[in-house]
Amino acid sequence: MELENIPDHLEKLSDEDWGKLFALIPIIESTEVFSTGGELIEDKNNPGDYTVTHEFCVPLVDDFVDIMNELDLIIPFAWSRWDHGNGIFEKGEYKDLDTITLLKLLTAFIRADHFSYGAGLASRFQDRTIEKILKAIKENIESK
């Protein structure tokens, strides 16, 4: 899907479609740990050298990505060069942003996660960024 077609696509999503995504909010709110692993283990044969164990995300993280894919909400754009998105993330203020910008943030987190083997996206759940963005999207959709 092209970026210019996103507004039309979002308009065509039903309340039931959005409900799939928004149903994750209370689950996220009640979840305390979003991944396991990722510990540093010192190499017994080479003190000072460490190995990082693989990080495993809770199923909720995969469910979120599956729903984003199912609803075609992963927006195609040059996320790795989106400096404005980094600024938004650093501020951590999502309430007054439009839905497309919020979806671009989620897209960037999902895409970047491919390079961190699950650790990146889980950390965005852990620091409550995903929760805040989903709540902002829900507010935008419900205010229409």
- pTM listed for this prediction: 0.87
Q: pLDDT per residue over 27-74, tens digit each?
A: 999 999 998 876 677 778 888 887 776 778 889 999 999 999 999 999
Query: Encoding tokens for residue 64?
Result: 């979120």
pLDDT tens by residue, 108-126? 999 988 776 666 899 999 9
pLDDT of residue 120: 85
The CA–CA distances, whole Å, from 8 to 13, 60, 66, 87 equal 9, 28, 21, 27
CA gap 71, 62 in Å, rounded: 14
Helix (H) or strand (E) holding 68: helix 59-70
